[in-house]
Structure 1
């Protein structure tokens, strides 16, 4: 499926680029979320006319995410969870929990889909977690998972 991008998308392309993607990804994500248009002559002309407006809108979004990234960049967050004797947690920590904790501590809106986990957070320890706000704005945080102290 050939599409024209309406915004910069990480590992895919920039505004106005013609890209070839799998049908499911194109239909279910790019077209549905308004991130692309089907490639044809009319849409190509439309995107070329609106390119400046799209770039300005993209810059506004990028600047908004830069502000949020400043709030959380290199910050450390702590979770206290029940664990087994060997340090394994009874359940892993998911992006939704991380998102809620960041919102609670810094009042920054971070979507769970923006949180990139390189590994399962299922043991006590310290983890580095990347946050991808925008194709050009990234941040990272440190998560410390500790055992709940019981008496």
Structure 2
């Protein structure tokens, strides 16, 4: 019996796969537990339409992420940090402070967890901070660190 999987089944396959299983396995396990549906012409067509819709939505999200990355690339924020004699800094600038600066100065919400800051910034200057907008899109944020 051909079955379209609704959920991932460890030994059979992933969600959306069409698999061939024994009739008893399908009737007694897969169908009652709602792990799959019988592969009729209507169900196969519905699966194709659903996959096409998911691809379209994924493409739109990717395009929006690319547009956001281009938009944010040209903008920059300034974060201030206390300094002592000789330009020695007290403390550091973390991803939380960078996200707060984007919110207050540019009114752009960014997730501090998606900022790929290897270590906190401990000196004055201009920094390019990678920001993971989408799994396939990384934007470069410009952060200027100045003394308070």
So what's the TM-score if we normalise by structure 1?
A: 0.60
Which of structures 1 and 2 has the bigger CA Rg? 2
The structure with the greater share of residues assigned to strand is 1
Contact 2:115–2:132, Cα closer than 8 Å, also in 1:
yes
| Residue number in structure 2 paired with 1:113 | 113
Counterpart CA distance in 2 for 1:128 and 1:57 is: 30
Q: Does 1:41 align with 2:13?
A: yes
1:86 deviates by 4.5
1:62 deviates by 1.7
Gaps of 5+ in 2: 1-7, 19-43
Gaps of 5+ in 1: 1-36
Counterpart CA distance in 2 for 1:59 and 1:107 is: 26
More contact order relative to length (CA 8 Å, sep ≥ 6)? 1
Counterpart CA distance in 1 for 2:132 and 2:120 is: 18
Secondary structure of 1:71's aligned partner: helix
Name whichever of 79-88 and 129-138 sits farther off. 79-88
